[in-house]
Amino acid sequence: MGKNFSIAIVSLLLLLASTNAGQVFDVKSYGAKPNGDITQALTQAWKAACAVAGSKVVISTGAYELGSVTLLGPCKGAIEFNLQGTLQSPSDVESFKDKDGWVVFEKIDSLTVSGGGVFDGKGQTAWQKNNCAKESNCNKLPMNIRFNFITNSIVQDITSKDSKFFHINLLECRNLQFQHVTITAPADSPNTDGIHIGRSSQINITNANIGTGDDCISIGDGNHDITINQVTCGPGHGISVGSLGKYENEQPVSGIRVIGSTFINTDNGVRIKTWPASPVGTASDMHFENITMKNVANPILIDQNYCPNKQCSNESPSKVKISNVSFKDIRGTSSTQEAVKFTCSKSVPCQQVVVADIDLTYKEGGSTTSTCVNVQPTASGKQNPPACT
C-alpha cells in the first residue's frame, strides 16, 4: 500500500510538473484583439510567463499592432514566444523615440521563438528617411528583432518582413540556433541586413531564405564559431564577414563556416571586407564551401579597401590581418567577368588563402578572370577562372 501510495504521489508530482511546464499565456487573456494594439497585453503576458518555469506566450492567428517592446529576462525557466499571427510595427519612425529595436529579447536563457508568424516592420516610409548611404553619422532606424544576451535558444519558422533597418540583430549571444527563418525586403531597401551577428559564439543558421536590400547575413567583430548552412540569399549583397576595422577596440573574428548555400542575383557572393586606415585586428579560420552562384556580380571577394560612398580616407592600408581562409567547391555564373577578387592590405597581406575546385562562368559568355593584390593563394582542383597564384 505504501509503495503504491508513493508511486501515486510521484505520478501526481510529475503530472503537476508537466502541467506547469506547459502553462500557456495567451495575449487574448490580457485583452489583445485582432487589428488592435497589443503592446500592453503582450508586456503583461510576457511578465507573467517569465515568472513561471516552462511557459509559453501565444499570439494566435490574425494581425495585431505592436509598439516597441523589450521582453526581458532572466526568466524562471525555459520560455517560448509562439507567434502564429502577424505583428505590425508602427510605420512612423518618430514613435520609436530613438529606440534601436522594435521587438527586443534580452537576457534570456532557453528561449524558443516559433509559430510560423510574421514580424512586419512596415519599413516603406522609413527607407525614404535613411541617409546612411551619404552620411556616416546618420540616424539609426529601429531593427525588427533584437536578441541581446540570449543563450541556449532556438528561433524557428518565423518571417521578418520589411524591417526599417536590420531585420535581426544579435549582440553577445551564445548557442543560438536559427532554423527555417524567412527574411524579406525589396532589393532597393537600404540597410535591411537580414541577420547581423555581433560579438556572439556558437551561432548556427540553417535552411534560411533571405532576400533584402543589404547583406543577407553580416558578421561583425568579436564573433567565434558561426556556421551558416543551406541558406538561400537573394536579392541582397551576399554573406559578408565585416565590415571590420571601422572602430577602435574591435575583437577578433574566427571560426566562420558558410556551407551548402545558394546566391541568386546578388551584388556579392561570399565576401570579407575591412576598412582602410583601420586599427589593428584579426580575422582567421574562415571557410566557404559547396556554394552555388546564379548571376552574382562578385562571387568570391576579399576587399580590404572597403569604403562605401567615400566615407573614409583610404590613404593608409587596413591593419586587419586576414589568414587561414578557404574557398572550395564554388560554382555557377558570374554577372561580371571578374569572378574572383582578392584585394588584401599591403600593410598586412592575407596569408593561407586556399582556392579549390572553382568553376564560375561569365553569364555573357567568354571566360572569367581573377585578381590578386597582396596575397598569394594556394590553388588545387579545377580553377575557372585561372587562379592568380
Contact criterion met (CB below 8 Å) for 196 and 237: no
Spatial neighbors of 301 by CB under 8 A, at least 6 apart, are 238, 268, 269, 270, 271, 272, 273, 340, 341, 342
CA–CA dist 146, 169 (Å, integer)? 5
Rg (CA), the chain: 23
Within 10 A of 258 (CB to CB), how many other CB atoms are there?
Answer: 26
Residue 120 designated active-site? no
Q: Exactly one of 214, 215, 267, 303 is catalytic; which is it?
A: 214
Whole-number Cα distances in Å, 34 to 23, 37, 41, 82: 22, 8, 12, 16
Which residue is associated with the grid cell 531564405? 209
CA–CA dist 338, 296 (Å, integer)? 11
Q: Give kind and range of the element (H or E) at residue 298.
A: strand 298-303
Alpha helices in the chain (DSSP H): 2-21, 39-50, 124-127
Question: Would residue 87 be called left, alpha or beta, if left means φ above 0 and alpha means ψ between -120 and 50 degrees?
Answer: beta
Paired strand residues for 373: 343
Contact criterion met (CB below 8 Å) for 66 and 37: yes
Residue 196 designated active-site? no
Residue 93 — φ and ψ, nearest 5°?
Answer: -70, -30
Contact criterion met (CB below 8 Å) for 305 and 276: yes
CA–CA dist 298, 122 (Å, integer)? 30
CA–CA dist 312, 308 (Å, integer)? 8
Q: Exactly one of 196, 237, 267, 303 is catalytic; which is it?
A: 237
Measured between its terminal Cα atoms, the distance across the chain in Å is: 82
Paired strand residues for 187: none
Residues taking part in catalysis? 214, 237
